[in-house]
Structure 1
């Protein structure tokens, strides 16, 4: 830590929804140097949707191959 900064503050880098890497000042939360991914709820829903799609497709294929 540089001299003159608040002892409970640290720089953390996180990835925004647009995929940009940003450095911001934040209160200390354990490990420094970790990159946090701030994901949009929409993206979360999409990934969950993709998983659901894959499961549906896979289950259909499993049923077809089982016959």
Structure 2
């Protein structure tokens, strides 16, 4: 994760969350159920991507939250 100023971190966090939202929507967003037919290798990889995006977003949020609490 880049060490960047606060406004850039906010944009980075928003981008990660939007990526995660789109990825999860593609998996099951409109009930198309293609996710079930993708096969175990692809399912594992998609879940791995989603987990990494969620971890990166959570880590960035915690770093930002720490900065916000020191500014208050």
Q: TM-score range by the shorter chain?
A: 0.3 to 0.5
Larger radius of gyration: 1
Q: Which has the higher contact order (CA 8 A, sep 6+)?
A: 2
TM-score between both structures, scaled by the size of structure 2: 0.41
Structure number with higher strand proportion: 1
Structure number with higher helix proportion: 2
